[in-house]
Structure 1
Amino acid sequence: MMNPFLFICFFLSFSLSAEMVKIPAGNWRPFLKETNFKLGETIKVKSFYLDEYPVTQKDYFEFIEANLQWKKGKVSSLFADGGYLGDWKGKSPDSRTANSPVTYVSWFSANAYCQWKGKRLPLESEWEYVASFPPPGKNKKDMESIILGWYGEQKPEFLPSVGKYKNRLGIYDQHGMIWEWVFDFNNTSVTGDSRQDSDLESSLFCGGGSLKANDFSNYASYMRYGYRAGLKGWYTAKYLGFRCASNVNIKDNPI
């Protein structure tokens, strides 16, 4: 007879695998200096699971139905600003956008959702590592063109359903649709304090020569880092959503 504990672990592992993609281990070089690493140092990213798609409005509605403290109008201002779920006319999403990424969510609410699912928010290094893989048949320059096109285009009133952009690892919509929360969104700094540092961050913040006009990859990455650096955990925004991650050993998830 199968050990009940082993069955539960098998079931959880299967469930995670069914809705998440297992990301292979690899190396990633941060665009800016991270807190615990030197500038230019390569970071080893362990294998982990990442949601195939951003969390949708339908997914998030299920979460708040089970966790009433996160309903629109009930969340403390300590955990989400007044824009929380601002595109929901009532207490539920518009039927036209049920499969669109949920936005107007704070770091606290995104983190709570992932914990409810038995998962966690991805680390910045994990998110950026996966995001560095271009779509099948494309190269990094093609990918950067997509990103820069999204930065410059007029944003739609209603976001499309998930599944628009797919990278080589099978992860959808990291680029070209929304910004996404990561667990350590304030891990790097492009604020005024960084001007005191004699490194790349200082040059980038001041718009110095290291930010080359023809270096699209640097510009696209700088925009993401700059956006994250301006966030606070309770902020919400029209094009800011999230997805969840999980360690390969699910018992290691910080819940």
Structure 2
Amino acid sequence: MLKPRKSKVWMRIFLTLFFFLCMVLTAKAISHVSIRYPSIQESFRVISSEIAGLSKDPRYENPGIALTDIINHQSLERDSTSEMLEEALNEALAEKMPNQVVPHFELVQLRIEWNENYPGSFREPLSEDLAGQAEADWMISGSYETLKNQEIQLRLELYDMVSEKNLWQDIFVFPQFSKRFTKQYIVPAVMEETPSITENKIIQETEERSDEYHLDVVTEGALPSTAGSERGKAPSYQQNQRGYFSMIFPEFTSPPPPPLSPPPEGMVRIPEGEFVMGDPGGRPDEQPDHLVFIDSFFLDKHEVTNGDYLLCENCERGHGGFDTSLPDKPVVYVDWNNANHYCQSQGKRLPTEAEWEYSAKAGKNNNDSQETNSENLLLYAWNEENTENLGLYGAQEVASKKTSPWGLFDMQGNVMEWVSDFYTQGYKGTFNQSISPKGPETAANPEYPLRVVRGGAWGGVHGAGKVEGMRASRRYAFAPWVLSFQIGFRCAADDPNIQ
């Protein structure tokens, strides 16, 4: 009587073992071992290659993929680094799977719509809800952490929304990156396609479990580097004492940066950096506030003067009340087209709206520049308090007030300034441009196009002479043919050190 019972027990044990063996053979192995990479570009290339390989499995039929969030491991919230990592990884994934990856800007838009529909409920939408709204089959999420040696450790997992199972997860370590790496990332590395390193990772995991070898990618005995000659080479392999192969990356030695070109006469170099554009407490067209990275560029120290404007033979202007004719006063009654033409005649251009606001805020990430909200505003700006309230009407001589921290005069007050962008009622349509944005390509209303004007004025209409009208985030809009005693301009130029 016991024999059948024993046989059933053994049969159950056999079936259980067989079931787990099938799972091991058919499912993608989930790794918990970090691998160090020489650059963020290389780590993102590996991530996108591995996920692309999974998506080709006939069981999944080209799933839609949404990268929802990469939170700060310490704060458990998204921050500016999260945004940079998400955008760059999304672009790497889209390069491998162009028709499967939900675009980054769509996810940003969905996040904003969530916060508008459920104000005060959650600071951020739940990852699953965000992926669901994007109609994705797979969701990628994770966290990042800055290690003691200033390296970044990135933990990612791939979740199947249909089966509600994790398909893949891994940990990647790479050097700290520059904030402008997202722009550089799109340029692919010059290297031949190398085989997937999944097999090598399995070997390394075995070594880790044996406690005899450290997992970090071997750097001792790495190939010697010469200036630029090793850049882009694929990793080689070195056999260790146990017969396993460890990956060896060549050293990546960047050449020293070229010397900076001096600013053209009358201009200052605006350093590269990121800032929060817009003001959540401001007017509706200043929202949503969003993180923007600006490449370095040159900007005129002060507004173009009457004397400067005479240098352009084919530039026209109007005349009217509160006109200024003295050579050191800013030129006014110039429409957008003539302002643009003048800058081009000098080998320059009008600044973008983002460049202008970044320069006015001078690297500060508070909602508006300190000078606007300061009692010392009169030291920096000509406004209604020190002009028309005292019986002085019209723009005043340029560079007669204190400079901003970046050496600029009259970024607030004196005259408002044309910038290059078309005007839209808010940033929802353009805020997905996170690196040196140039604004909309076309006017919102082609029959009555509007251009952006910035900076406030000495007085006059639109509240431009009041403190509120001089906030760095404050936006004005005028048709490009408008001639006004309140409006002048200054020019910008590209930094030749920026490729």
TM-score interval (norm. to shorter): 0.5 to 0.7
* Change in 2 beyond 3 A, CA 1:180/1:144: farther
Query: TM-score when scaled to structure 1?
Result: 0.61
Q: 2:272 aligns with which of 11, 25, 42?
A: 25
1:42 aligns with 2:271: no
- Paired letter, 1:169: W
User: Partner of 2:319 in structure 1?
Assistant: 85
User: Partner of 2:16 in structure 1?
Assistant: none
User: Partner of 1:123 in structure 2?
Assistant: 352
1:74-153 to structure 2, matched below 5 A, reads: 84-86=318-320, 94=325, 97-133=326-362, 139-140=370-371, 141-142=373-374, 145-146=377-378, 150-151=383-384
Partner secondary structure for residue 293 of structure 2: strand
Query: TM-score when scaled to structure 2?
Result: 0.33
1:160 aligns with 2:396: yes
Task: Provide the rounded CA distance (Å) in 2 between the counterparts of 1:110 and 1:238.
Answer: 14
Q: How many residues align?
A: 185
Partner secondary structure for residue 111 of structure 1: helix
1:232 aligns with 2:468: no
User: Partner of 2:447 in structure 1?
Assistant: none
Task: Provide the rounded CA distance (Å) in 1 between the counterparts of 2:293 and 2:419.
Answer: 18
User: Where is the helix percentage greater, Structure 1 or Structure 2?
Assistant: 1
Partner secondary structure for residue 265 of structure 2: helix
- Paired letter, 1:221: R
- Contact kept? 1:28, 1:125, Cα under 8 Å: no
- Contact kept? 1:87, 1:104, Cα under 8 Å: no
Sequence identity (%): 29
Task: Provide the rounded CA distance (Å) in 2 between the counterparts of 1:132 and 1:119.
Answer: 22
* Change in 2 beyond 3 A, CA 1:38/1:53: closer
- Tell which has more relative contact order, 1 or 2 (C-alpha 8 A, sep 6+): 1
* Change in 2 beyond 3 A, CA 1:161/1:220: closer
1:52 aligns with 2:286: no
Partner secondary structure for residue 349 of structure 2: coil
Q: Per-residue deviation at 1:110?
A: 0.3
Q: Per-residue deviation at 1:131?
A: 0.8
Q: Per-residue deviation at 1:247?
A: 0.8
Q: Per-residue deviation at 1:167?
A: 0.4
Q: Which runs of 5+ in 2 are unaligned?
A: 1-260, 281-285, 364-368, 428-465
Deviation readout 1:106-160 (Å, 9 max, x if unpaired): 11110000010111000111111111139xxx94432784489825555333432
- Paired letter, 2:335: S
User: Partner of 1:6 in structure 2?
Assistant: none
- Contact kept? 1:25, 1:47, Cα under 8 Å: yes
Instruction: Give the RMSD, CA atoms, in angstroms.
Output: 3.6
Task: Provide the rounded CA distance (Å) in 2 between the counterparts of 1:23 and 1:17.
Answer: 12
* Change in 2 beyond 3 A, CA 1:188/1:125: farther
Partner secondary structure for residue 27 of structure 1: strand
User: Where is the strand percentage greater, Structure 1 or Structure 2?
Assistant: 2
Task: Provide the rounded CA distance (Å) in 2 between the counterparts of 1:177 and 1:241.
Answer: 9
Partner secondary structure for residue 411 of structure 2: coil
Deviation readout 1:190-218 (Å, 9 max, x if unpaired): 9xxxxxxxxxxxxxxxxxxxxxxxxx987
1:231-250 to structure 2, matched below 5 A, reads: 231-249=478-496
Deviation readout 1:37-69 (Å, 9 max, x if unpaired): 982320001100001111000111221xx21xx
Q: Per-residue deviation at 1:86?
A: 2.9
